[in-house]
Chains A and B, each alone.
Chain A
Amino acid sequence: MDRHRILIVEDSPTMRQLLSFALKRLRGAEVVEAQDGMDGLRKVTGEEFDLALIDINMPVMDGLKLIHLIRQEPTLAAMPIVVITTEGAQEDRDRALALGANEYLTKPIQANRVLAVAKALLKVE
Chain B
Amino acid sequence: MNFIVSLLTATLRVATSILLAAIGETYAERAGVLNLGIEGTMFFGAFVGFYVADLTGSLWTGLAAAILSGILAGLVMALFSVSLGVNQHVSGLGLTLLLSGLALFAFRLKYGGRSTPPSIEPFPLLDPFGDMPILGTLGEQYLLTYLTFLVIVPLAWWLLYHTDFGLKIRAVGENPEAVDAAGVNVYRVRYAALIIAGGLMAAGGAFLSLAQLGAFTHGIVSGRGWVAIALVIFGNWDPFKVTLGSLIFGGTFALQLRLQAMGLQLPIPYETFLALPYLVTIVALVLAGRNAAYPAALLKPYRRE
| B is bound to A | no
Interface residue ranges, B against A (CB under 8 Å): none
